Amino acid sequence: MRNSLRKANRRPTHPGAILREDVLPALGMTQTEFARRLGVSRLTISELIHERRALSPEMAARLGKLLATTPESWLNMQTALDLWEIEQDPARLAEVQPIHAAN
């Protein structure tokens, strides 16, 4: 059983949703200004906040520096989402069988 505060059947929050719903409104900043400060294109930010793009390690580092947070906090959100999505389709891993230790 996984140790988590989140219910196992609930989809983890995409990091872009945090940016869209919490960060940008709190900063009073447009996507364009946010992108400029991060040194990325507006399209990159738009795709991220509309959950059409996964958060990369580089973007996590940029967000961490800009927002005085840790890149790991952003990456942990993305990892939780990625693993949850894989778990929703058990057939993706059906051919993988555990290696059992020799007796």
Percent of the chain with pLDDT over 70: 89
C-alpha to C-alpha distance for 62 and 60, rounded to whole angstroms: 5
CATH topology for the 15-84 domain: 434 Repressor (Amino-terminal Domain) (1.10.260)
C-alpha to C-alpha distance for 6 and 64, rounded to whole angstroms: 23
- Look at the block and give the residue holding tokens 């400060």: 37
C-alpha to C-alpha distance for 33 and 80, rounded to whole angstroms: 28
pLDDT of residue 6: 55
pLDDT of residue 4: 53
Instruction: Flag residues of the chain having pLDDT under 70.
Output: 1-8, 101-103
Instruction: Please report, for the chain, the start and end positions of each structural domain, with discontinuous segments joined by +.
Output: 15-84
The tally of CA atoms less than 13 A away on the side-chain side of residue 91 is 1
